[in-house]
Structure formats: C-alpha cells, structure tokens
Amino acid sequence: MLFRCKNCGGNIVYNPDKKAMCCPHCDSLDSEEKIEDSQAIVPSSRICASCGAPIELKEHTSATKCPSCGTYMVVDERVQGQFTPHLIIPFKISKDKAKELLHKEFDKRPFTPMGFLSNASIDKMEGTYVPFFMYDYKSDMNYRAVGTKVRTWSDSRYEYTETSYYDIIREMNANFNKVPVDASIEMDDKLMDLLEPYNYHELEEHQDKYLSGFMAEKYNMGEKSLTPRAEAKVKRDSHAMISETVSGYATVTQAQESIVPTKLAVDYALLPVWEYVFNYLGKDYKFQVNGQTGKVLGETPVSKPRVVGYGVTVFGMITILGFLIRMAMLVL
C-alpha cells in the first residue's frame, strides 16, 4: 500500500515534527488516501505504483522506498494477519534532527575520516522500524540471607567489638510491563539493548500510516524463541530490586535466592531507529539514533595515518609514568 495526496497526487509521509501525515509536495496535512496493493502477490518484489519500476524486497522487509522515484510503500501482507503489529512508537526525531545529533556527537572527535558526516553521505540515512516483542511478566521473589552489623568502642583498657547477626528475609512480587526484546535477526541484540531505554508509555496502537516515509521489518524470530531473553531480563531486574532493599550491613551471606518469572502477555511492537551506514576503506560502520529519544550510538572509523602518531605519543606518556612510580617506591 502507499499513501497518496488527495490534493496533488504526491506521496504522503508521516512527519515527526508535525506529528501528522504531511505532503512534502503541496504541504497539506492529513490529506492522505490509502491505496492498497492491487497486484498479484509475488514474495520478493513489487512494481512501484508511482513510476512502474520494479522494487526488490528483502525477506523480512515490510516497508521500503522505490529506488527509482523515492515513493515510500508498505508491503501489505507483511503488516497483516499474524504480522499485524499491536503497538508502535512513531518516529519523534525527524531526519534533520537525527543528522544534527550525529554532528553534535561526532564533529569534535579526533581521527574521523574525511566525508564521514558530509551531506551527500549522511543524506542516505533512513529511519527504520525494528520489530520487538514486549513481554508482561509477574515475578515471585524469595530471598534469605544473614547480615552482620559491627559496633566498636573502647575504654582505657580495652577495645570492644560487638557483632550482631540478622536474618534477612525478603518475599516480594512484582509485575514487569512491556519488557522489550528485538525480534530481528539482522539487528545486533547488544546494539538494541544499548539504544534503550525507550519511553514505553508512548506506545500507541499501531496504524499503517506511521510506516509511510520509513523502512520497516516484520518480526523474523518467534515470540517463543525470544522468551529466554525476556526472562533473563526479568530475573536480572528482580535480583537488582532485592539487592536494593538489602543495605546497611557490614557483611551479607546469601543463603537462598529464588526468582520465578511467569509470562502473562506478549505484544508485537515496532520501535523507531535512524540508521546511518558509512563505508570507510571497504568496511561498513553503522550508527544509530534512537528515533524517539535521540540517543546516539556508533563508533567512528579511525583514520589510519593519524592514529599512528597518536599511539606513539601515548606510549611515551606511559613510559614516563612508570618511571615516576618506580622513583616513588625507592624513596619509600
């Protein structure tokens, strides 16, 4: 499907600044008309409804852009039926804002190669919706430990030490709402964890129009296969919750800790990420901007000739430091 402007026939996209569907051609707001796919469904390609060019589809792509004319389209059967998203956080950071955030983060770093944030290069950045499962869990926690507190005082003859022993017992229950786990094979799990947190209270009921103007991927890992990752997060956070309540002791000897997570519900959600890929000396460097909060991730490629000079300087400094420490020890 695609969204067409009723006024001028142009391709309408979702505009994060205006929080509305906006026609980039005639500037009209909310004048979109949804045009459903009428072509016979071929899994790996589409014909662009605007210009007639063929559009290759990757296996999991659910929204993309025509490489010939730039029209944004949604792959109907990949956002319907079992693939209908329940929830979505629409993009809040616009492309211009995402560019600005990358500049702010990387402009001052040393050793970035020429062209890294040039307009021609950074303009290729695309917004992508990443598929997630959001798990609701109940967690039953049981914790036993022995803690000690030590008091010391003295008089003219003795120094006294008093050790008190405490039985620490914690029985807690907690509900965890919307624990996110990304459901994309292509997305690096660690990266997604680093892009968090999203503000999950801004999750909305999914609407197809939010995808217009962006790339998207349908889930390609099953909810069941991702359950262990959700459970591990619940256990980790439960453990942290208990630990927070045990404080003020000189020593704590844990006798028992049991955390039993129970899955209550699962939602399929799409979360927004800006992605910028920069190729330097044959290697792709990836940068991400959280499409809701603006958090920036990514390692700048290192420009080789300059780094050698830097390495030598650092080595020199380390040598001098070591020497100074040895001198100090001799004096002692």
Please report, as ranges, the residues that interact with Zn ion according to CB under 5 A.
Answer: 5, 7-8, 10, 23, 25-26, 48, 50-51, 53, 66, 68-69, 71
Phi, psi (deg, nearest 5) at residue 195:
-70, -20
Q: To the nearest whole angstrom, how small is the minimum distance from the Cβ of residue 13 to Zn ion?
A: 11
Q: Which is nearer to Zn ion, 50 or 112 (CB)?
A: 50
d(CA 52, CA 331): 83
Q: To the nearest whole angstrom, how small is the minimum distance from the Cβ of residue 30 to Zn ion?
A: 11
Q: Which is nearer to Zn ion, 28 or 293 (CB)?
A: 28
Q: Which one, of 211, 212, 320, lies nearest residue 270 by Cα?
A: 211
Q: Which one, of 331, 307, 306, 286, lies nearest residue 116 by Cα?
A: 286
Q: Which is nearer to Zn ion, 13 or 101 (CB)?
A: 13
Task: Give me the amino acid identity at 224.
Answer: K
2 bridge partner residues? 35
Residue environment code for 278-309, b if the CB has 16+ CB neighbours within 10 A, otherwise e: bebeeeebebbbbbbbebbebebbeeeeeeee
Q: To the nearest whole angstrom, how small is the minimum distance from the Cβ of residue 275 to Zn ion?
A: 22
Q: To the nearest whole angstrom, how small is the minimum distance from the Cβ of residue 28 to Zn ion?
A: 5
Q: To the nearest whole angstrom, how small is the minimum distance from the Cβ of residue 34 to Zn ion?
A: 15
Q: To the nearest whole angstrom, how small is the minimum distance from the Cβ of residue 306 to Zn ion?
A: 42
User: With contact defined as beta carbons under 8 Å apart, do 203 and 86 qualify?
Assistant: no
Phi, psi (deg, nearest 5) at residue 331:
-60, -45
**Preceding omega of 197 cis (within 30 degrees of 0):** yes
Q: To the nearest whole angstrom, how small is the minimum distance from the Cβ of residue 4 to Zn ion?
A: 9
Q: To the nearest whole angstrom, how small is the minimum distance from the Cβ of residue 23 to Zn ion?
A: 3
Q: Which is nearer to Zn ion, 35 or 264 (CB)?
A: 35
Q: Which is nearer to Zn ion, 18 or 286 (CB)?
A: 18
3-state secondary structure 236-289: HHHHHHHHHHCCCCCEEEEEEEEEEEEEEEEEEEEEEEEEEEEEECCEEEEEEE
Q: Which is nearer to Zn ion, 14 or 268 (CB)?
A: 14
Q: Which tokens is 13 given?
A: 């996209």
User: With contact defined as beta carbons under 8 Å apart, do 277 and 286 qualify?
Assistant: yes
Phi, psi (deg, nearest 5) at residue 281:
50, 45
Q: Which is nearer to Zn ion, 8 or 250 (CB)?
A: 8
Q: Which is nearer to Zn ion, 9 or 311 (CB)?
A: 9
